[in-house]
Structure 1
């Protein structure tokens, strides 16, 4: 996808660049900017932790950990390279590792994050206000784990894996971040490529219909000979 600048009724293609060429680092530039504007890659989400690593026997870190409006946990991984190498494998590991996180623990992690941001807000109140629910309604907190991968590009292997995972019911999304040079500024185009936004609703309905047909088929195949 190309971006253009229009001047005097003329279109001029913007020069595509790279994060490396522009001296933008993955954690200290890209991640720092995105966490303050998370809607760019993960709409309706609230960041509750950064560089999350509160588990034993592992030094792995989740770039950004968030929750969505349905009180699901969201694993967000960022890469500035051209392939997004092994992002999906890392994210799947992280999703499994946080799958048992309780609401109380999430509030604890969020409170620590807020303190680092020099914010004295109450973490629990902020989360409850965000999800628009009472604490008693959060019995299914974190029941589903979503995954958001953001990179300057993705390899064919990764996109194939992401599509397969979505077909199996895993909510994984890929957002391509393309930097452009415009005069003295760097512009970033954020484009969700998996799932294609215009097809997402159709794909969900198609998967639900297929699952219903599968369940119906399995019921018909049951053995009722013991009734005879």
Structure 2
């Protein structure tokens, strides 16, 4: 049965062509690895191409999610260990009548100064905020807000998570640079100042790790261009 002609030896590719094709394929694979795979998967951008294509920020978010998952697993193990330890309370000796009387007398003496009225604290004026945003996050949902800032500029901020604590990562990127200022887990609120280490976008990534919806309220003021929602 006739299927196809057997190619002549002259029609087969030479060893030099095969080697050249293999080298070209390896170079293309290496370029894709450095410019696409490494920025998108591991937030590593040695050439700067990943930042221009928007892949480096994707890799940073993936790294944050991986860190959060690992920390959640460690926190669960600690909670289980604490629960086991609480099930075996230490035995306590019963108090004698004399010890009970002494304890009661000491409590009365300590409680006496509490009757004095505390002096009223001076009222502190509320800071003037330039921007305020409210966003509802479902369980597992994240969001990101950034301030456009010049190097050395200082912005004031205050945020609160209504309905449960929240995970956050304060960071910045721009001018081919990136920085992580502070990270927190299970934090109900925070306030302070954010000084830009370089010209670019600086702000916060938030994620709701509760089993219920929470409302994030973010207020900002100070020296910055605008507040924008990135994610």
Higher CA-based Rg:
2
Report if TM-score (shorter chain) is over 0.5: no
Q: TM-score range with shorter-chain normalisation?
A: under 0.3
Which has the larger strand fraction? 2
TM normalised by structure 2 equals: 0.22
TM-score relative to the length of structure 1: 0.22
